[in-house]
Amino acid sequence: MRSFQSIRWRLQIWYGLLLIAALAGFGAAIFRVESARQFRQLDEELQRRVQVLAKSRHPVPNARPPRQQFVLLPENSALFDQGGAAEFYYVVWLHGGDAPIRSSTAPVDIPMPQNNTAASVRARGTLREAFLLPAPGDCLLVGHRTERDIAESHHLAWWLLIAGGGVVLLGLTVGSYLVHRALKPVRDISFAAQKVATGDLTQRIASSTSGSELGQLVNVLNSTFARLDAAFTQQAHFTADAAHELRTPVSVILAQAQYGLSNACENDEHREVFEASQRAANRMRHLIDSLLDLARLDAGQESPDRKPCDLATIAADCLELIRPMATARSIQIHADLRSAICTGDADRLAQVITNLLTNAVHYNYDGGEVQVSTRHDSGIATLVVRNTGPGITAEDLPRIFERFYRADKARTGSAGRTGLGLAIAKAIVQSHGGSITVTSELEKGATFTVSLPN
């Protein structure tokens, strides 16, 4: 249910609730006003008819004691029981009479309003009645059946409900579209930021609304990305230039040393000097090559020569290179190479595997063991290199992939060791979208695991 926590859904829900509340309030007001208007109109009609009834009540001439009689003129009787006035009825009580005069459609069981009734309009069930008490015991009452009015107001209520529902639906749809549009820059930003986070520093956020608040954020982020990109490029260029500038002086030393050696000097001391220079120059040469490798991997300049290749065959080739070195120190190599297809640059992967194998032999006891295995499961090709060396201390373990970090501080390695091998291996594996990890226990050896996606 993570999606319901998104800004988009919360905005939608709040907006929808607000819209429904507003429409409900509005509808209720319309309904009330309309009903009130309808009843007020009805009451006026009722009062008018009561007045007509009042005029139809006359004293009986010469009657003793004086009596009242009720005579409805024919033109007035059209106000009741017929045609457009079919729902109006009247009941007239004279002298508290038990037998009221009533129109033909009047209900039979109408109680006579009591004198003390203050209101001149009353509602009984679906009936609405207005009355006048002209004299004690006399009562003129006009009633109206309100079923049709009630039905009408129900009708109105239904229409209001349907219209309201329609407006809510329309509102939600348009709102959803607007929210979608309003949040598009946010999605663009997070998409670009994600790409930048995974290493594509050339990514920029496309923004069409540079004036808006998000537009300003986009500009800030873009300039940050640009500076980040520039810093990385600059660093990569610097490393590349530095390595490049070192090539010429190193070649002078190397050439001079080799020329000196070729002059077959019998003098052992001279020979040693030249040999030492040659070794140092060769070491610098490896260092330069490694630094350039790293600079290019950092800058993402590696030409993508990615093809499906089998870690097992690459590892088998690398093993053949390493075997003489292992044999010289009586180290046994156990290989369990099962097909492990991955997509990558075979030369680069060979560089990684050779590095791991060289380390496994180099940092091992004479007569130790090196185990190499490759396997493939659920889309991941895995290579494991394990040795029986002295292992890596817990303090060194997290820093082992850092540049120039060496577990053996004494720097007693052979000329080829630059302290960059594992850093390069890691950079290569990462440029393939894979991962490299190490575990180790002191005196029990170390295990390096490379995982590469299919």
Partner 1 sequence: MRLLVVEDEPDLLSVLVRAARKEGYAVDSAADGEEALYKAESTDYDAIVLDIMLPRLDGWEVLSRLRKTKATPVLILTARDRSTDRVRGLDIGADDYLVKPFDIPELFARLRAIIRRGANQSRAILELGEVRIDTAARTVTRNGKPVTLTAREYVVLEYLALHRGEVSSRTTLYEHLFDEDEATLSNILDVHIYNLRKKLGQDFIVTRRGHGYCIE
DSSP letters of 173-220? HHHHHHHHHHHHHHHHHHHHHHHHHTT-TT-----S-TTSHHHHHHHH
Least separation in angstroms between CB 266 and partner 1 = 17
Q: Tell me the residue length of the chain.
A: 454
Residue with Cβ nearer partner 1 (53 or 292):
292
Residues from 281 through 340 that contact partner 1 (CB under 8 A): 281, 284-285, 288-289, 292, 303
Least separation in angstroms between CB 255 and partner 1 = 5
Residue with Cβ nearer partner 1 (207 or 290):
290
The answer to whether the Cα torsion of 283, 285, 288, 289 is positive or negative is negative
Under the criterion CB under 8 A, does residue 252 sit at the interface with partner 1?
yes
Under the criterion CB under 8 A, does residue 239 sit at the interface with partner 1?
no
- The alpha carbon of 76 is separated from its chain's Cα centroid by a whole number of angstroms, namely 75
Q: Which stretch binds partner 1 (CB under 8 A): 92-100, 153-161, 277-285, 315-323?
A: 277-285
Least separation in angstroms between CB 236 and partner 1 = 13
- Beta carbons of 345 and 305 less than 8 angstroms apart: yes
Give the strand order in the sheet containing 369-377. 332-337, 369-377, 380-387, 445-453, 435-441
Least separation in angstroms between CB 250 and partner 1 = 5
Under the criterion CB under 8 A, does residue 262 sit at the interface with partner 1?
yes
Residue from the set 4, 14, 159, 259 that interacts with partner 1 by CB under 8 A:
259
Bridge-based pairing state of the strands 380-387 and 435-441: unpaired
Over its C-alpha atoms, the chain yields an Rg (Å, rounded) of: 50
Query: Does residue 17 sit in helix, strand or coil?
Result: helix
Scanning the structure block, which residue is given the tokens 């060979």?
A: 350
Under the criterion CB under 8 A, does residue 266 sit at the interface with partner 1?
no
Residue from the set 247, 271, 306, 375 that interacts with partner 1 by CB under 8 A:
247
Residue with Cβ nearer partner 1 (165 or 249):
249
Residue from the set 76, 256, 313, 451 that interacts with partner 1 by CB under 8 A:
256
Crossing angle of helices 421-431 and 268-299, in 10° steps, is 30
Under the criterion CB under 8 A, does residue 420 sit at the interface with partner 1?
no
Residue with Cβ nearer partner 1 (44 or 245):
245
- Beta carbons of 336 and 369 less than 8 angstroms apart: no
Residue with Cβ nearer partner 1 (258 or 449):
258
Under the criterion CB under 8 A, does residue 265 sit at the interface with partner 1?
no
- Beta carbons of 381 and 340 less than 8 angstroms apart: yes
Under the criterion CB under 8 A, does residue 251 sit at the interface with partner 1?
yes
Give the number of other Cβ atoms within 10 Å of residue 173's Cβ.
10
Least separation in angstroms between CB 11 and partner 1 = 51
Q: Which residues bind partner 1 (CB under 8 A)?
A: 244-245, 247-256, 258-259, 262-263, 281, 284-285, 288-289, 292, 303
